[in-house]
Amino acid sequence: MPFLLLLWRLLTLKSKAEDMPYSFFLLIFILLANIAITTFSMHSPEISEILGLKAAIVSALASGASLWGMLRFKKLHLRFVQLWSAILAVDTICTGVAFCSSHVLGINSFSFLMGLLLSGWAWWVSVQFLVQAFGIKPWGAMIISVLMQFASVMALFVFLPELAEILNKANS
């Protein structure tokens, strides 16, 4: 129960990323949960479960590697486990709630708006965690967050060209 309370406090910005336990095993558990939920939320007629799984793994590892690289560059790499655990936990919860709401409510404008708001909230919470971890202003943390997302998307296109083809066909 205390861990669920901590997750709630992270989601509502009442706790900081450094309040997460420094546990590599907890990070792996949250990473696996994030990959599972992301895989399920990506499933569509065009994207198979295997391709969704590959995309979730590549995306998560690329964002984690970019975060570690930026922390290492600033000599703050000891904060990585707690920071990435907190960011992944918030993202996992928000993605899971958005995924469940779209399946319960169906795909409509309300569930789309709810997913958009939850994604925005997860991004804003992660920006706040980055502000605290790097000791920078919010605009700097927003840039770091965008760089992490850019690294994730670039890794998807480099390592999964079949996903890029599916997305290009969908946009055509």
CB 6 within 8 A of CB 15: yes
What is the widest separation between alpha-carbon atoms in the chain? 49
Residues 6+ apart with CB under 8 A from 129: 16, 17, 83, 86, 87, 90
CB 90 within 8 A of CB 10: yes
- For residue range 80-133, list pLDDT tens digits in order: 999 999 999 999 999 999 888 887 777 778 888 888 999 999 999 999 999 999
What is the domain partition of the chain in residue ranges? 23-171
Rounded-to-integer distance, Cα 87 and Cα 85, Å: 6
pTM for the structure as a whole? 0.90
Provide the pLDDT confidence category of residue 163 given band limits of 50, 70 and 90. Answer: confident
Give the residue from 72, 66, 64, 85 showing the smallest Cα distance to 16. Answer: 85
Provide the pLDDT confidence category of residue 1 given band limits of 50, 70 and 90. Answer: low
